[in-house]
Structure 1
Amino acid sequence: MSLTHHDATVPDEGSRPGPRILLHSDDPAVRERVRTAVGPRLAVGAPEITWHEAATHAGVMDMADVASFDLVILDGEADKSGGMGLCRQMKDEVYGCPPVVVLTGRPQDAWLASWSLADATVSRPLDAIEVQRTVAQQLGAVRPH
């Protein structure tokens, strides 16, 4: 069963035992690149990741109100409402906010992501190995180097 809010679909809470990741970008190609980089699971034999997607600020906040996630990935370059402001809002307003990764436009934007209280950043161009490593670290699947 699915609930639909604005631009977001939230599957049944008990549908999968693997990590639940909320992925935000107004660009479907960015969302696809992130999902492809991370892959269906964090390691061989690990449970499958359940992806939830939102294209707008309202969609992310609606989903955060009705479901819990293990990780949130926000596009800092999204139009109208970028991921950095959204991250700051989530950290201030969402009780027990999960770790948040912000996708930045360039490495020099990491300082701004620190204002947003992001737990980690990945800068463009998105490197598949870096995206996967960062997601795994934030989910506790690997130790930081």
Structure 2
Amino acid sequence: MRPTATVLVYSDDASTREQVRLAAGRRPAADLPPVEFLECATLPAVLTALEEGGVDVCVLDGEAVPAGGMGVCRQIKDEIFQCPPVLLLIGRPQDAWLATWSRAEAAVAHPVDPVALADALAGLLRKRLAVGA
């Protein structure tokens, strides 16, 4: 097992980033390595972090401004070679179709449900780490 997994968390709202960190915890599932979080508050910071590499999963806030997570997701899927899987935080469960449009691999609704977020994040990490192993 790898020593750690890196999760990029993008939101312009510091409290949303904190909710994601707290919901995921140090280890979203017992069979996964501990998680290190890389917080980004702007689109340029997200792009820089992804270009540098080492990110295993992205959690993007669909309600972020001025660049919403859905548009950011679609952009990084087009521009980043071997883009990590994306977990999108959506404003309403009815917005799940927009998450599909953005090419996110998973979506959970705001406000953050710790169990749903940890489960979705764990699933994406398992797939990513199995492929990267």
Same fold (TM over 0.5): yes
**How many aligned residue pairs are there?**
126
User: One-letter code of the match for 2:63?
Assistant: E
CA displacement 1:23-43 (0-9 Å, x = unmatched): 100001001111100110133
Superposition pairs for residues 46-61 of structure 1, below 5 Å? 46-61=32-47
Corresponding residue number in structure 2 for 1:19: 5
Q: Per-residue CA shift, 1:103-128, capped at 9, x if unaligned? A: 00000111011110000001112111
Alignment of 1:110 with 2:113, yes or no, is no
Of the candidates 40, 48, 53, which is equivalent to residue 62 of structure 1? 48
Counterpart in 1 of 2:14? 28
Give unmatched runs, 5+ long, in structure 2: 128-133
Within-5 A mapping of 1:74-113: 74-113=60-99
Q: Which residue matches 1:128?
A: 114
Q: Is contact 2:29-2:118 (8 Å) kept?
A: no
State the partner residue of 2:130.
Answer: none
* CA offsets 1:72-119 (integer angstroms, 9 cap, x no match): 000000010000000001100100011001100000111011110000
Alpha-carbon RMSD across the aligned residues, in angstroms, is 1.5
Which structure carries more helix by proportion?
2
4+ residue stretches of structure 1 with deviation over 4 A?
none
User: Highest relative contact order (Cα 8 Å, sep 6+), 1 or 2?
Assistant: 2
Unaligned runs of 5+ in 1: 1-15
Higher CA-based Rg = 1
SS at match of 2:112: coil
1:22-69: per-residue Cα shift (whole Å, max 9, x none)? 110000100111110011013347432111010011110011111221
Question: TM-score with structure 2 length normalisation?
Answer: 0.89
